[in-house]
Amino acid sequence: MKTTSKQNLNDFNQIKYGYPDENGHYGIFGGTFVAETLIKPLQDLKDTYYKLKNDPDFLKELYTEFENYVGRPTPLYFAKRLTDKLNGANIFLKREDLCHTGAHKINNTIGQAILAKKMGKTRIIAETGAGQHGVASATVAARLGMECVVYMGEQDIYRQSQNVYRMKLLGAEVIPVTSGSRTLKDALNEALRDWVTNVDNTFYIIGTVAGPSPYPELVRDFQAIIGREVITQMQDIDKKVDALVACVGGGSNAIGLFYPFINTSSKMYGIEAAGNGLETGKHSAPLNKGKVGVLHGNRTYLLEDENGQIIETHSISAGLDYPGVGPEHALLKDLGLVEYKSATDEEAIQAFHELSRVEGIIPALETSHAVAYTFKLAKEMKKNQNIVINLSGRGDKDLNTVAKLEGIKI
């Protein structure tokens, strides 16, 4: 399967679904809620992106990087033993865990870094929670010879020391954020502040389909290579896609899989982190339990208290531990085009072990939420039906978390 390099971002124009509108709104969601000083830089970014997304030179560079640096197309793997064991629908895994750096995040960072270079920027900044987006940003900055600064909550720096060292090895500077809860949402605020000050030479790479317009749109477009490859790969083996399943943190791997399937007959399931359980209040499931509000430049579903204060989220997986979600998912929920379900920490851990033992693939804890939900879904569907799970990342980064939980010293 080598057809992907011949596809291009124009394919998006064929999708009959008109979001976002010209102001970056997804129905009542999305938009541009930022300081006045950022309006012009965001407009410049949008203008450049709209010009380049149809430009053959840009697309050639992007697809060359996808093939030779990221390792695309990623395989679509039939999980036969898991399918047999569950005795339900056929389960296919889209192997984003095999991307360079071990997850889907690099699809987006390489795209944004090429944009940055085309705009004449020499410095990249990024925010990171677990460190995965920081690593993916530091990686592409090294690849393109750009300076890189990553903002990371002090709390997360302590929890994710391996990724901090990885970013340093890649030549990035990691700046600890000591405000607020010293985690991802505070790092995002700090990165926006840096951007306001240094916008002349600096490009801000956002790590998921959140933030002010046009970020949710361009991150989606770079990640949609995932779904487009799945369409071709399933056609090649003459199979219909009955259901798609992906975990939802900010929502980039999920929208990457879903977007090319919107308005087709395939059913779509986005899986949020239910943490200790949706009823305990200790979770990260804004689409299941949130209210509409504004955070980080866009309107979306958020986890907040009665006074509109953002509440502390909880998930075993750092990558799903975010109080908001991309605005396009908020719309897809309200339109009923995607069903948003959840999996608890416990279910995710069980799925983590099961996939490791049955298929020899250790998934990321984020991904394990999608796998856990599929265990239920496969049994409800017919045996000749097909489910594709977005295997968003590999689990190496989570070994310490799982071992510690089980009282094992490694």
Catalytic residues: 105, 127, 392
Label the pairing between strands 298-302 and 291-295. antiparallel
Choose among 401, 410, 405: nearest CA to 163: 401
183 binding ligand PLP? (CB under 6 A): no
Site string for ligand PLP, 336-375 (x = CB under 6 A): ----------------------------x-xx--------
CB of 134 to ligand PLP, least distance (A): 11
Cis-peptide into 363, omega within 30 deg: no
Residue 334: both structure tokens together: 């309200």
Judged by CB under 6 A, the number of residues near ligand PLP is 19
CB of 364 to ligand PLP, least distance (A): 4
Nearer residue to ligand PLP within complex by CB, 157 or 364: 364
Distance CA 33, CA 39 (A): 9
Give just the sign of the alpha carbon dihedral 82, 84, 85, 91: positive
Residue 19: both structure tokens together: 């979001």
**Given the rule CB under 6 A, which of 50-58, 145-153, 250-258, 271-279 is the region that contacts ligand PLP?**
250-258
CB of 320 to ligand PLP, least distance (A): 6
Among 216, 251, 323, 324, binds ligand PLP (CB under 6 A): 251
Nearer residue to ligand PLP within complex by CB, 353 or 382: 353
In angstroms, what is the C-alpha Rg of the chain? Answer: 20
Where do we find the tokens 């990342």? 393
111 binding ligand PLP? (CB under 6 A): no
Among 45, 177, 248, 285, binds ligand PLP (CB under 6 A): 248
Point out the residue whose Cβ comes nearest to ligand PLP.
393
Q: E strands, 51-146, where?
A: 76-78, 90-94, 123-128
Nearer residue to ligand PLP within complex by CB, 316 or 381: 316
137 binding ligand PLP? (CB under 6 A): no
CB of 32 to ligand PLP, least distance (A): 20
Among 107, 213, 252, 266, binds ligand PLP (CB under 6 A): 252
Cβ contact 343:377 at 8 Å: no
**Given the rule CB under 6 A, which of 45-53, 78-86, 248-256, 259-267 is the region that contacts ligand PLP?**
248-256
250 binding ligand PLP? (CB under 6 A): yes
What DSSP letter does each residue of 81-123 carry, written as one string? HHHHHHTSSEEEEE-GGGSGGGBTHHHHHHHHHHHHHHTT--E
CB of 163 to ligand PLP, least distance (A): 10
Distance CA 94, CA 90 (A): 13
Residue 71: both structure tokens together: 């390792």
247 binding ligand PLP? (CB under 6 A): yes
Where do we find the tokens 């149809």? 54
DSSP code of residue 14: G
Among 4, 112, 132, 313, binds ligand PLP (CB under 6 A): 132
Q: E strands, 133-172, where?
A: 147-153
Cβ contact 388:257 at 8 Å: yes
Residue 366: both structure tokens together: 């984020």
CA 45 and chain centroid, separation: 20
Site string for ligand PLP, 205-244 (x = CB under 6 A): ---x------------------------------------
Site string for ligand PLP, 26-65 (x = CB under 6 A): ----------------------------------------
Choose among 188, 134, 178: nearest CA to 296: 188
- Which residues of this chain interact with ligand PLP, rule CB under 6 A? 103, 105, 132, 208, 247-254, 319-320, 364, 366-367, 392-393
